[in-house]
Amino acid sequence: MSVTTTSRMRHLLTYAAFVAPAVLFFTMVILVPFMRAILFSFQDWNGISSDIRWAGWSNYTKMMSDTGFLKSFSFTIKYVLATTILLNVVGLLLALVLNLALKTRDFLRTAFFLPYVIGPVIIGFIWQFIITRLFSEVGKATGWVLFQKNWLSLPDYAFWSLIIVTIWHSAGYFMVIYLAALQGVPKDMLEAAEMDGAGRLKRFWHVVLPLIRPAMTINLFLAISSGFKGFDLNFALTKGGPFGTTESLAYHIYLDAFTKNLFTYASAKAVLFFLVLASITLVQVAVMKRREVEM
């Protein structure tokens, strides 16, 4: 065996030694359960008994008349739209402000990012206490009717409670991504635009915004995917209430699988959920990437 072949084999073995654990972990934790979920979606099983029957497409056809599933799907779409828009708008505004030469900008960056470090379940329980206990005290002290209501017992208020807590929790993370993009904008281009007579708004619209488009692509992807997969805050803050009006799709599937023992039916919903999320994500990334090239 030549020296070149021996060296090549050594490189391949070294590469395999480093890559194999990650591939094995991905296969066992993600790929195998995903393939099993697809198989389960065509079966009839409660997750406990040894009697597993073949159901064909019945689990999928049953979803079309499942009002609970359709209701949670509608809520999830509204939740994703609201959080995607607000997270990107608030994150960008915070980044624009903290990109200025403020004396307290380092402290403010830390303060806005800090909520994201805390777990969503803990955040949900903290805000549940704030909304149910502290808001009523504020309402008594100020006389404001808005704070005298129990937000989590009213459908519209419960929805916006979830939105507000989500923005408070995650806006700092989006701010950091936008801030990194803003700091990469060449100053000479901004100075040239200013010398040509472009005001702040025109400089932002025609110079800054096109250059931070990759950050927008990343943040839109993160907002959409995290919005569809939202479970922790939904579980800790509202538990799908009142009357199932704030039941996200992920939480709905969890309830079907682990509280109603509709294991295979929940698997079918999960597979359909994956296909919808993957399709939306692929379209969104393709459109944003095309616009980046056009810019």
Domain boundaries, the chain: 3-40, 64-294
Residue 183 has pLDDT above 80, yes or no: yes
The pLDDT of 189-195, averaged and rounded, is 81
- Round the average pLDDT of the chain to a whole number and report it: 87
Residue 215 has pLDDT above 80, yes or no: yes
The pLDDT of 234-261, averaged and rounded, is 88
% pLDDT > 90, the chain: 30
The closest alpha carbon to 162, from 240, 277, 270, belongs to 240
Contacts of 249 (CB under 8 A, 6+ apart): 69, 72, 73, 75, 76, 228, 269, 273
Report the pLDDT value the prediction gives residue 3, as an integer from 0 to 100: 55
SS3 150: coil
Residue 170 has pLDDT above 90, yes or no: yes
Residues 83 and 246: their CA atoms lie apart, in Å, by 14
C-beta of residue 115 within 8 angstroms of C-beta of residue 172: yes
The pLDDT of 18-43, averaged and rounded, is 89
The string of pLDDT tens digits covering residues 113-160 is 999 998 888 998 999 999 888 888 888 888 888 888 888 888 888 999
**Is residue 293 very low, low, confident or very high in pLDDT (cuts 50, 70, 90)?**
low
Count Cα neighbours of 119 within 13 Å in the Cβ-side half-sphere. Answer: 6
The pLDDT of 238-260, averaged and rounded, is 88
Residue 169 has pLDDT above 90, yes or no: yes
C-beta of residue 88 within 8 angstroms of C-beta of residue 224: no
The string of pLDDT tens digits covering residues 71-100 is 999 999 999 999 999 999 999 999 999 988
Instruction: Classify domain 64-294 at the CATH class level.
Output: mainly alpha
Report the pLDDT value the prediction gives residue 45, as an integer from 0 to 100: 82
SS3 188: helix
Report the pLDDT value the prediction gives residue 78, as an integer from 0 to 100: 94
The pLDDT of 28-34, averaged and rounded, is 89
Report the pLDDT value the prediction gives residue 190, as an integer from 0 to 100: 80
% pLDDT > 70, the chain: 97
Report the pLDDT value the prediction gives residue 64, as an integer from 0 to 100: 86
SS3 25: helix
C-beta of residue 37 within 8 angstroms of C-beta of residue 257: no
